Amino acid sequence: MKIQWDKQTCTHSGNCVESLPEVFKVADGQFVIEPDKATDAEITKVINQCPSGALKQID
């Protein structure tokens, strides 16, 4: 799965980091996404719960 993050749209609510910290994290001041650390279903659930819509699944 590929995930797109729109920095300009993100409101930094932290929902993704709190919900799935093994996938969504901040490392060395950068937002890092490691989609191979969870199932597609788990990631999709977090993407759908993003309040700003900054996270999107891309094909």
Tens-binned pLDDT, residue by residue, of the chain (59 aa): 999 999 999 999 999 999 999 999 999 999 999 999 999 999 999 999 999 999 999 97
Q: Look at residue 59 in the predicted model and tell me its pLDDT.
A: 77
Q: What are phi and psi of 32, to 5 degrees?
A: -120, 135
Which whole-number Å values give the CA distances from 46 to 8, 10, 58, in the listed order?
19, 14, 14
Q: pTM, whole model, 2 decimals?
A: 0.89
Which fold would CATH assign to domain 2-58? Alpha-Beta Plaits (3.30.70)
